[in-house]
Amino acid sequence: MISVKNLSKTFSTPKGDVQVLKDINLEIEKGDVFGIIGFSGAGKSTMIRCLNRLEEPTSGTVIIGNKDITAMDKDELREARKKIGIIFQDFNLFDSMTVYKNIAFPLKISGYSEEKIRDRVHEILNLVELSDKIDSYPAQLSGGQKQRVGIARALANEPDVLLSDEATSALDPQTTYSILELLRDINKKLNLTILLITHELDVVKYICNNMAVIEEGRIVETGSTNSVFLNPKSDTAKKFVKIMRNFNTSADCTGGEVI
């Protein structure tokens, strides 16, 4: 479903070129929930933005479905992006628009009729359990509700792929859990391929079937989530697992509260 071959990205800076991604290779099956984990600065967000060319790759190819995203011209890319939904850490909602208008926005851009837009917005709001907030503005919503609107907007054009760029990082643990449950439900109901990047190991463990570890711009480990957790091979994976185990041990020793 998603095939990434030798993907690299170099940024030019006043102090010289900086290579952020180095020969990334990934294969993600249709319908999978796939996680990519790494520490801050490892290249996670740059990589996911290269998949739909919000960032232009320096070299390499990205194939989604049977379409070579990296070979498309602007018009072709605009059409392809309709089937690649993306949700962000900071929600990216229009503050001056209601929930209805935020979700309707990509549908209007796509040229749907008002009747089709209305039906689709109501359908998605029901899916994300926010029908009662249809006339609310973002400032009237909690963080979790804002992210549900972001997810609804990403689903508006019935995408085949959903990219999640640190979508739970700004949320508290309980809200994170509810968003992950929603994503899991969407994956099952729609057979939607989800690629999720995060620095939260618990998120990957909870929802992802398979995962990759990114370290200094390179993929250093891939496998099923269980195999990586039980037998981490890369330095980054070992550090994440150690941190999680120490955290859980501290929580157990204090009756669920970390000291």
Q: In angstroms, what CA-CA distances link 243 with 204, 229, 248? A: 14, 12, 9
Answer yes or no: is 253 within a domain.
Answer: no
Question: Which of these, 228, 227, 250, 211, lies nearest to 27 by C-alpha position?
Answer: 211
d(CA 26, CA 134): 38
Answer yes or no: is 24 within a domain.
Answer: yes
Question: Which of these, 58, 79, 83, lies nearest to 70 by C-alpha position?
Answer: 58
Range of the domain at 241: 2-248
Question: Which of these, 52, 38, 35, 41, lies nearest to 11 by C-alpha position?
Answer: 41
d(CA 69, CA 64): 7
Which residue's entry shows tokens 């890369």?
A: 234
d(CA 195, CA 2): 9
- Do 219 and 212 contact (CB within 8 A), yes or no? yes
pLDDT band at 123 (very low <50, low <70, confident <90, very high): very high
What pTM was estimated for this model as a whole? 0.90
User: 1-59, pLDDT tens digit by residue?
Assistant: 899 999 999 999 999 999 999 999 999 999 999 999 999 899 999 999 999 999 999 99
247 has pLDDT over 90: no
Answer yes or no: is 170 within a domain.
Answer: yes
User: 166-213, pLDDT tens digit by residue?
Assistant: 889 889 999 999 999 999 999 999 999 999 999 888 899 999 999 999
Answer yes or no: is 255 within a domain.
Answer: no
Answer yes or no: is 158 within a domain.
Answer: yes
SS3 (DSSP) at 155: coil
Residues with Cβ within 8 Å of 230's Cβ and at least 6 positions away in sequence, in order, are none
Answer yes or no: is 155 within a domain.
Answer: yes
Specify the CATH number for the domain of residue 226: 3.40.50.300
Answer yes or no: is 163 within a domain.
Answer: yes
d(CA 36, CA 211): 6
Strands 193-198 and 33-37, sheet pairing? parallel
Q: Work out how many domains the chain is built from and give that number.
A: 1
Answer yes or no: is 259 within a domain.
Answer: no
pLDDT band at 258 (very low <50, low <70, confident <90, very high): very low
